[in-house]
Amino acid sequence: MAIACVTSWLENGRPYDQGVILYQEYGKNFILKSLFATGYSNFNSQKLTEELRLINDQTIADPAPSTLYVKSLKTEVFEKINHAALPEDLQKENILKGELYRQAGKLKKQLEFMKSPEARSTAIKAILANFEQIDKIWAKLDYFQQTGKKMREPEIFEEKIESHAFLLKRRNNLRTYITKIKKEISDMDPQDPQTVKKIDKHNSYLNELLQVEALLEGKE
């Protein structure tokens, strides 16, 4: 059986931001999720349409899983993260992850009742921001599950970063880097290993930019 909201999207104009949200929910390729979140481009839009159409076609073709399979799958998912075994700070992030999922779900349900494009755009950006934070939390949890250690946060700032002039210059440089790398990604094959590296670099720059802007706000 086809996915009703995906079918509706495919048949009604295919607005890019809504498609990104649908792929975040139904898509499985983390690389493509990161690629689509970089923003609209002709390549991204065409690829997003192809992937959602493929998901819909496969949903129609694939038989529904048996009750036994669904039960075993749920057990595997719930056993993957042993909440009690996590350090206290990761337990808090695991709880936050669930709250971010719920917030994104509520906003998604409200989208069809929003009358202004501005309200929908704000809600979509909030949903995407939630999923970006969720992905970061999952990375920390997976790393702990695999190594038994906490992921080390990147240390990108030195003492000189306290300078307001340095922060302004770094912010401008990061914005330039992000714009340039987004264009490069849009022209690349999503399956190319170099694309993965570019996306990782884009996300690293974006994370640093958010930190720099937070520091600048604190100085104003």
Tens of pLDDT, residue by residue over 99-143, are: 888 888 888 778 777 778 777 777 777 888 888 888 888 888 887
Q: What global pTM score does this model have?
A: 0.42
Tens of pLDDT, residue by residue over 69-111, are: 333 333 333 345 677 888 888 888 888 888 888 888 888 778 7
* H or E element that contains 135: helix 117-147
The predicted model gives 65-72 an average pLDDT of 34
pLDDT of res. 146: 77
Q: How far apart are CA 212 and CA 220, in angstroms?
A: 13
Residue position matching structure tokens 């669930």 = 98
Q: HSE of 159 in the Cβ direction (CA atoms, 13 Å)?
A: 0
**160: amino acid identity, one letter:** K
